[in-house]
Amino acid sequence: MVEPMLQINVNANRALRQFFATLVLGASILATAQAQELSFTLHENLVIGDDEEAPSEYLFTYPEIVRTDSQGNIYVKDGRRADVRVFDANGRYVTTVGKRGEGPGELREVFGMHVDGDDRVIVADRMSRRLTIFSDMGKSFTTKPLADKGMIAPNPILSLDDSFVLTYVELFANPEGGPSIKDDRVLHTYDADFNRLETFAQLDDIYDLDVPFLNAFSTSPRAMNVATNGTDTIVLSPHVYDGYIYRYTRSNDMWVMEKLKGGPGPKRSFMPVSKNDFDTNPDVRRGAAMLSRSTGTYFARILSQSSGVAILSTGEILHFPVRMPLKQDFEPQAELFDQNGDLVGYGQLQFDNPELNGNARVMESISIQWIDSADRLYLVRRNSKGYPVLSIANLEISSL
């Protein structure tokens, strides 16, 4: 269901909607009047990083950010590296953009990375407090300073027509000492020259800031997943998923927020735990979060999280929640919303490979990083030996 603030008629033409048939992602999706349980099957076309004997260029610590360009090249920002590796559409290593350092064109801490419509690689460096825009796969570059005050760590960066949307929470020093002052908006649009235009999306719409753990988690790099159709729609899913995602639509020079309700889930999205439980109880530690902030240290066992969100070329929304019960295997799932924001269906997310489905380590690690113009999904998972790999897959959706 769509919560109040929805400004379109979700009931129009319901009698004309057809029953769900088997389909492949990218085809037109017709909603049913009531959400139903569906099957979501990943068909892997390419896996990068699965050969531990391959050259180091092909191996990952953890692919944190993934993008594609107009030629189908794949750009990967890997954990603990201050550069961006480029692979062609067949998974062959092409080049590396940037390198660690403090000089021009060098990077210290890559916090955000994006590839725009002109195939420029845009890198946000938190330590150097600047954006570096690489052209021609790193052969030339320009720089742009980040804000001159406050702490800004944009992640992700996404394209919107001839502008950009950056996701971050701005923190300012408290003149009275104590915890930093937190800005209350999380989405920020910038023009083509990266001058800030507007800010929107209230942080307390997304997280209950009266809950200490959620307040602390709201500024975490993992706090939110964001996707856009590139023009007038942005979808945000909180990592600690309580059953709602948030759609922002540009209308009459304003961004209108809609709260979209997902499928059945646990009664609570997390449970606070003690440090002793965190340290000694394997069921608690699996899926738990520890946050050390100026307001204190918080321990919680997350029971429901979002592992990614995507907007299809047809306008439908895919969301990927994970249920994480205490004494059972994690349950990766998917939810499909139509253009009106109504939930069409939900169900288990699985691979077409039974060996992957039967490996708890693989299934617990799935994280959706990107969707390209052909509606291919780019996801990170562990392989059977526990090493992180980048998987490119088509998603088949079918009725049960």
Residue range 229-259, pLDDT digits in tens: 999 999 999 999 999 999 999 988 899 999 9
The residue among 100 and 31 whose pLDDT is bigger is: 100
pLDDT over 50 (residue 278): yes
Instruction: Look at residue 33 in the predicted model and tell me its pLDDT.
Output: 57
The residue among 24 and 75 whose pLDDT is bigger is: 75
Average pLDDT rounded to a whole number, residues 392-399: 97
pLDDT over 70 (residue 73): yes
Residue range 77-98, pLDDT digits in tens: 999 899 999 999 999 999 999 9
Instruction: Look at residue 113 in the predicted model and tell me its pLDDT.
Output: 97
Computed over every residue of the chain, the mean pLDDT equals 90
Q: What is the dihedral of CA 275, 276, 282, 286, to 10 degrees?
A: -10
Residue/partner pairs of 92-96 with CB below 8 Å, 24 or more apart: 93/55, 93/57, 93/58, 94/137, 95/137, 95/138, 96/57, 96/138
Tell me which H or E stretch contains 47: strand 36-48
Average pLDDT rounded to a whole number, residues 359-387: 96
pLDDT over 90 (residue 8): no
